[in-house]
Amino acid sequence: MRSVVPVLAVVAVILAIWYLACLPMNIHTALTNAERAGVAVQPEGAAERRDRSGIGLALTNPGQWADTWAQDKPRLPAPHQVLAELWDTTAMKKVTSKRSLVFHGWITLSATLLGFAIGTGMGIVLAIGIVHSRAMDMSVMPWAIASQTIPILAIAPMIIVVLNSVGVQGLLPKAIISAYLSFFPVVVGMVKGLRSPDAMQFDLLRTYNASRGQTFAKLRLPASVPYLFASLKVGIAASLVGAIVGELPTGAVRGLGARLLTGSYYGQTIQIWSALFATAVLAAVLVALIAGAERMTLKRMGLGR
Amino acid sequence: ASHSDNSVKLQLQWVTQAQFAGYYVALEKGYYEEEGLDVTILPGGPDIAPPQVLAGGGADAMLNWMPSALAAREKGLPVVNIAQPFKSSGLMLTCWKDTGITGPQDFKGKTIGVWFFGNEYPFLSWMSQEGIPTDGGDDGVTVLKQGFNVDPLIQRQADCISTMTYNEYGQVLDAGVSPDELVTFKYEDMGVATLEDGIYVLEENLADPMFKEKMVKFVRASMKGWKYAESHPDEAAEIVLEYDETGAQSEAHQKRMMGEIAKLTAGSDGSLDEADYQRTVDTLLAGGSDPVISKAPEGAWTHEITDEALK
Amino acid sequence: MTLVLSALILWAAAWWLNVRLANGPTAHTPATKLLVPVIFGLTLLIMWELIVRGLNVPLVILPAPSLIAARFAQSLPILWADFVQTFVKGALSGYAIGCAAAFVTAILIDRSDFLRRGLMPVGSFVAALPIVGTAPILVMWYGFDWQSKAAVVVVMVFFPMLVNITAGLQETTQMQRDQMQTWAATYWQGLWKLRLPAAMPFVFNGLKISSTLALIGAIVAEFFGSPIVGMGFRISTSVGQLALDMVWAEIVVAAIAGSVFYGVVALIERWVTFWHPSQRR
Amino acid sequence: MKGVSQATVIEAKNLDLTFQTNDGAVQALSGVTLDIAAGDFVSFIGPSGCGKTTFLRCIAALEQPTGGTLTVNGMTPEEARKARAYGYVFQAAGLYPWRTIAGNIRLPLEIMGFSRAEQAERVKNVLELVDLAGFGGKFPWQLSGGMQQRASIARALSFDADILLMDEPFGALDEIVRDHLNEELLKLWARTGKTIGFVTHSIPEAVYLSTRIVVMSPRPGRITDVIESPLPKDRPLDIRDTPEFLEIAHRVREGLRAGHAYD
Amino acid sequence: MKGVSQATVIEAKNLDLTFQTNDGAVQALSGVTLDIAAGDFVSFIGPSGCGKTTFLRCIAALEQPTGGTLTVNGMTPEEARKARAYGYVFQAAGLYPWRTIAGNIRLPLEIMGFSRAEQAERVKNVLELVDLAGFGGKFPWQLSGGMQQRASIARALSFDADILLMDEPFGALDEIVRDHLNEELLKLWARTGKTIGFVTHSIPEAVYLSTRIVVMSPRPGRITDVIESPLPKDRPLDIRDTPEFLEIAHRVREGLRAGHAYD
Ligand SMILES: Nc1ncnc2c1ncn2[C@@H]1O[C@H](COP(=O)(O)OP(=O)(O)OP(=O)(O)O)[C@@H](O)[C@H]1O
Ligand SMILES: Nc1ncnc2c1ncn2[C@@H]1O[C@H](COP(=O)(O)OP(=O)(O)OP(=O)(O)O)[C@@H](O)[C@H]1O
Ligand SMILES: Cc1ncc(C[n+]2csc(CCO)c2C)c(N)n1
Ligand SMILES: [Mg+2]
Ligand SMILES: [Mg+2]
């Protein structure tokens, strides 16, 4: 709560800079529009202005500033334009409408959640394997790291096509791409967590003659919970990115990713920005939900202080 | 694969828009249903290679530009053109007039945006016919891989960009540019036009009479859709809007697009014109150092389906 | 079918071998530590080859590793040019700028608690903007060449770096800071002699995370417009040409470059943070 | 009490233990021979690194000697562990932070498969034994260091092992609390008659608690002296100011100093 | 030595300190009045939480008293710090792991702007003083705990402050090493004539080292007793077995017990 004032201050500064940045960013178009409408601008001719800096042009043509904040397809939309679009496409549309961001957000969210579940499950299973089998640790870990250096956008279409050829369609392919991005942080965090108890804690269980299974259930697993949650927060954000990437090669018909893409086909910058912000808000909400679950669980476990 | 059922999946090569109005009209008006077909239309996008989808069994038929389809054929994916609803090409280069460009020779030293993804071939062979290198420098053109909007032109990052008469050109005008500020070069006019949006299927499937029969019905219904769309452009555009799930299309834009598309489909009854085919192949074979296809393809098209369909 | 079967048998055999190696007497030698993952990787490759051949998967869907290797060998000059464009020009420069900017910001934030509490939440929100959305915008702003790719990379690595450096600067104990105070050290002396060295393990953690992000960011940005060279350009156009072997050759380059980049950063980390318990053995 | 001829519980003969490390072999124990009788309270004292912990760990079968023989109740340490022969208390309390005090004490009981009712019963008993009744529902961090250490002792007592091994259990506590816990431990020992092996760094603590004090010297870990305490079993805290006490303390100190090379 | 009328170095009058915490105010020091003369060796002893550390930190200007006055050499603690009046030794050695022993000792010298040559000279001297000559090139983690603590003392000595403040410097070490370092510290004190403030939990340590022992009690931290030691300045280790020594130790223990509530 102590952060409210600083955050507001920072947001205010960002908004101010943003509005200012619209001037040089959009001034070229503003001048061209004005010229077409017969207003005199400095200098004349779009070709002439092409290599001029936006800042210089903005300074010499203060009369066109207002237009830089009100264009249809600006290079940088002004904050109020994005907000208006967000408002228009969430609150003002029925959630079942194709033009509603809530509708598209839900499509993306469902793939995200499914992918997150798959990825987290896989990550946990892999981590359990890795801490219990040296062979698995040594063979899998380097490749798990390497797998993350592959640009997912490049293989996403192939995953879709391959799955399609074995008859898997719809939500699942997107979820698998999203799982691919989210499993890695979970593996890393979970391995760390399962290994986090110190030697003494293991020794203690040995003096009780505890079995492997008991050691896992009574020591490793509870000890890993804080680590797991830390990874889940990274993982859910990665899942969302994965779901969006997965939407691009599925015909890009529905979902926030499709909104981003179709927005860019038609140069609808305002639509792109509002889809972007919707995504970020969705990510923030998801992370906050996990953080809430984390607080609750840790408190139950007596770890939250 | 079993082709005994009556389902047909069609892979488009772009997102839902009036470019594909004929198929949506046929679907909406029940022409497919009348033929006893259950048709699914799969929209495309920049990350979707229709031949790949076809190869993976994700679709029964695809729409494709012929250069791309012939290249796929040479890569070992035997696709066959069974119908050609688009008679003429809508591809063109759009340039700023104030760059001083008046003809192809003025491209030297300029920056030009080109679509890749299998669509660069017509451009490359045109340039090689003009004798202009495409690797930059003062004597050649600097080629950019253009994204799928007109920003590079509007932002003046490129002097010319690729546009379709029915889509991107309109977007340039929508951005407030008047046609007088632009110079355009239609591939059709330059003599380097290649065939666009044809219907392709896998060769091996054509061996199956059941499949063939399905395609006959499909092409017949599709052409009926096209002809209806041509004569009712506004209604067709509205149907397309109806099917657009992204909610990103605007009515004005689709109506204008439909108007332009109608001009391209006008001369076709669906059957491939051998002369057009030959011109396409010649253009591609003339391509520069890295030609799309190295030899004239065999069996890349068939009239069997259209002959049957148009009876 | 026999090929698929032999793939499964191969898997079982290789796994058995690895279990033996990992639990055997030589398990802690560097040779074994290298050998085990290599065997695992090779097994996957051979299984891939066998399955693709066994099931007759079309080339345009999934090429066999042997074809990819052949394409790789034939296309070295192209791959090299793409690598230079994307990795050296785009990813590395963006990485350097992004890390440096995060560093400066971290020190600004460090001096002002107000800034930290204001910027961190906003920063994490901005960091959640997906690159597939920001990349087209940055390409529109910074042009088609490597500059826009570098900008995408800057945006991608900035926040993870900032978080790590900030956390690292908080890493010193109260006692260590008190100690500095008893010597009447200035802010900069405390920063330079105590807090920066203590932050290094965190800084390197950030550098490692960012190293994989950097290359991915540069490649993805090329999908949204590029000159006609670069790894992302090649991948996206090759998919259109159904040259899947080329696509995979580029992916191999990306994986190698990414892993080597990561490895180099990890090596430097060993060298710089030699004192940290996790680096001592 | 059968006087000197009590049953031998732990019997070490010529025990050797060498660790293989990256920097070469470290001989932690060398020729250690020692008998511990039932009901003994044996303290191990010696400079850091002399092998006190290692010896205790050998008894608990946490470490495998490389030479000599070691039997516990006539069995190998392994077998003795399976027979639940020991409770082990580590230097730090080592309570699991995600379990309440009662939950921590219940842990060995769960693992050993006691019934629910039995678990609850035993937890209640040992909590009373260590004076923590009413704190069962608290989490470890809600207790002071001394209370945590008592809980950890309760945990070791809960399954009623005959042998209690304690490795510097009070090392981290302040002197006053430590004195108090020493008193309590003596009472507990008197009440239960367990055999206790106790590692410490503090001479007064060793003298105050033990029936026998084993002095060890480092590199390689050897026993240099075994001192039988003539102190009575009943020991008020101020026994520490008596001449007998100081006499033993002095002897221990001398024994320590002899074997000690500073750092 | 000017007998009883030595110059006063540290003068605390009615010192109060209250921490504002989330759970309310904690009064850590209340009405603390104390004079420390030049050359004194003053030990502070008392149960955990009684404010020993807090008082030392006030002297070093690491904490700001909320009431009363405190002067060091006639200046405020702040000014005294800027004048490099103190060396401070913390409980843990707190050496920087990325610097060698010599590098660690050089650290305050670098900060205070000594010349290179002077730095090298001083590092050499203090390394000898604490018996670590030859270990300058090692990293902290390559040394035993006792050696690390000696290095940390050397660091506090390197810039030759007149006042040495030590907060449980030997708390983490074993008894033998501790004895040894106690002896060394006494020698060093005799040789340099510094004024030393020393916090400890160990009664023998306090009695063995100090000229005055300050006994404190908790909640709120007050001084309950100040004991002047009649022991001579020259103290062999076995002075600890003399009746005078035990007499003082007993008095300290009584003072402590009075103010102590277990846990
Ligand atoms: N797992 C191990 N691997 C290698 N060396 C070890 C291991 N455990 C102990 N040692 C070494 O064996 C020797 C004896 O160690 P041990 O822990 O038994 O000493 P200790 O008497 O308990 O010391 P302290 O009083 O510091 O606890 C030491 O030199 C130590 O470094
Ligand atoms: N920064 C702080 N904020 C709030 N309370 C504090 C702070 N520092 C110390 N205290 C409280 O002030 C009291 C005195 O603490 P101090 O550290 O001086 O005790 P001490 O005598 O040194 O104890 P110990 O022997 O455990 O080191 C304690 O109750 C402690 O909890
Ligand atoms: C991935 C991909 N990129 C470009 C085209 C070429 N193309 C065909 S139709 C069309 C839309 C015109 O408005 C474009 C750009 C394609 N087929 N697939
Ligand atoms: Mg030990
Ligand atoms: Mg303290």
The pTM of this model reads: 0.85
Instruction: List residues bridging with B198 in a β-sheet.
Output: B64
Q: Which residues of chain E form beta strands (DSSP E)? A: 8-21, 24-37, 41-45, 67-72, 86-89, 163-167, 195-200, 212-217, 222-228
CB pairs under 8 A between D and E: 47
Which residues in chain A are closer than 8 Å to C12, comparing Cβ atoms? Answer: none
> For residue A22, how far is its CA from the centre of ligand 4 (angstroms)?
68
Q: What are phi and psi of E33, to 5 degrees?
A: -125, 125
**The pLDDT value given to residue B155:** 79
Report yes or no on chains D and B touching (3+ CB pairs under 8 A). no
Angle between helices B274-285 and B66-74 (to 10 degrees): 70
**What whole-number distance in Å separates Cα of residue A140 and Cα of residue C196?**
34
- D62: which DSSP letter? S
Average pLDDT over residues B251-266: 90
CB atoms within 10 A of CB D187: 12
The verdict on whether omega for the bond into residue D220 sits within 30 degrees of 0, i.e. cis, is: yes
**What whole-number distance in Å separates Cα of residue E64 and Cα of residue E60?**
10
pLDDT tens for C57-110 read 888 888 999 999 999 999 999 999 999 999 999 999 999 999 999 999 999 888
Test A207 with D60 for CB contact under 8 angstroms. yes
Residues 200-259 of C with CB under 8 A from A: 212, 215-216, 219-220, 223-224, 232, 235-236, 239, 244, 247, 250-251, 254-255, 257-259
> For residue D260, how far is its CA from the centre of ligand 4 (angstroms)?
16
Band (C128; pLDDT cuts 50, 70, 90):
confident
Please give the share of chain D, as a percent, with pLDDT higher than 90: 30
Average pLDDT over residues A44-60: 80
pLDDT tens for C157-192 read 998 899 889 888 888 888 888 888 888 888 898 898
pLDDT tens for A84-110 read 988 888 887 777 777 788 888 898 999
Residue type for position E182 = N
> How many CA atoms lie less than 13 Å away from D45 in the CB half-sphere?
32
> For residue E252, how far is its CA from the centre of ligand 2 (angstroms)?
21
Please give the structure tokens belonging to residue A163: 């799955």
Complex ipTM more than 0.90, yes or no: no
Residues present in chain D in total: 263
- C-alpha separations of A278 from A82, A249, D150, E237, E244 in Å: 10, 21, 54, 75, 80
Test C182 with E60 for CB contact under 8 angstroms. yes
> Does residue B295 surpass a pLDDT of 90?
no
How close is the nearest chain C Cα to the Cα of E62, in Å?
Answer: 7
Q: Which domains does chain A have, with CATH numbers?
A: 4-74 (no CATH), 101-300 (1.10.3720.10)
Average pLDDT over residues A211-228: 91
**What whole-number distance in Å separates Cα of residue B121 and Cα of residue B196?**
12
**The pLDDT value given to residue E196:** 94
Residues present in chain B in total: 311
CB atoms within 10 A of CB B90: 24
CATH topology of domain E8-85+161-262: Rossmann fold (3.40.50)
Please give the structure tokens belonging to residue C21: 């190696």
Q: Pocket around ligand 1: residues whose beta carbon is below 6 Å from it?
A: D 19, 21, 26, 28, 46, 48-54, 221
pLDDT tens for D124-170 read 999 988 888 889 998 888 888 778 888 998 998 898 888 999 998 88
| Chain A partners (3+ C-beta pairs within 8 A) | B, C, D
Q: Which of E21, E27, E50 to mutate to test the pocket of ligand 2 (most atoms within 8 A of CB)?
A: E50
Please give the structure tokens belonging to residue A207: 């003096």
Which residues in chain A are closer than 8 Å to C40, comparing Cβ atoms? Answer: 139-140, 143
Test E250 with D256 for CB contact under 8 angstroms. no
**What whole-number distance in Å separates Cα of residue A44 and Cα of residue A56?**
14
Residue from E123, E144, E119 nearest E133 by CA: E123
**The pLDDT value given to residue E231:** 86
Please give the share of chain B, as a percent, with pLDDT higher than 70: 96
Please give the structure tokens belonging to residue D243: 């001449």
Ligand at minimal distance from the CA of B48 is: 3
Q: Whose CA is nearest to atom 5 of ligand 3?
A: B119
**What whole-number distance in Å separates Cα of residue D26 and Cα of residue D33?**
19
Closest-lying ligand 1 atom to the alpha carbon of residue D221: 14
> Does residue C210 surpass a pLDDT of 50?
yes
> For residue E90, how far is its CA from the centre of ligand 5 (angstroms)?
9
Report yes or no on chains B and A touching (3+ CB pairs under 8 A). yes
**The pLDDT value given to residue D4:** 44
* Residues of C within an 8 Å Cβ radius of E: 173, 175-176, 178-185, 189, 193-194, 197-198, 200, 273-277, 280
B53 has a chain A CB within 8 A of its CB: yes
| Candidates A139, A152, A257; nearest CB to C37 | A139
- Domain chopping of chain E, boundaries: 8-85+161-262, 95-160
**What whole-number distance in Å separates Cα of residue C56 and Cα of residue A235?**
36
CB-based neighbours (< 5 A) of ligand 4, an ion = D 53
> Does residue B214 surpass a pLDDT of 60?
yes
Test E139 with C275 for CB contact under 8 angstroms. yes
Q: Pocket around ligand 3: residues whose beta carbon is below 6 Å from it?
A: B 13-14, 19, 46, 115, 117, 119, 148, 164, 167-168
Q: What are phi and psi of B148, to 5 degrees?
A: -105, 40
> For residue B89, how far is its CA from the centre of ligand 3 (angstroms)?
13
Digitized pLDDT (tens) for each residue of chain E, 263 residues in all: 334 446 888 999 999 998 887 777 888 888 889 999 998 999 999 887 788 889 999 999 888 999 899 999 888 988 888 888 888 988 777 889 899 999 999 999 999 889 999 999 999 999 988 888 888 998 988 887 778 888 998 998 898 888 999 998 887 777 777 888 888 889 888 888 889 999 998 888 999 999 999 998 877 888 888 998 888 888 888 788 788 888 898 888 888 877 655 44
**The pLDDT value given to residue D188:** 85
> For residue C217, how far is its CA from the centre of ligand 1 (angstroms)?
49
Q: Which of B15, B42, B47, B257 to mutate to test the interface with A (most CBs of A within 10 A)?
A: B47
> Does residue B147 surpass a pLDDT of 80?
no
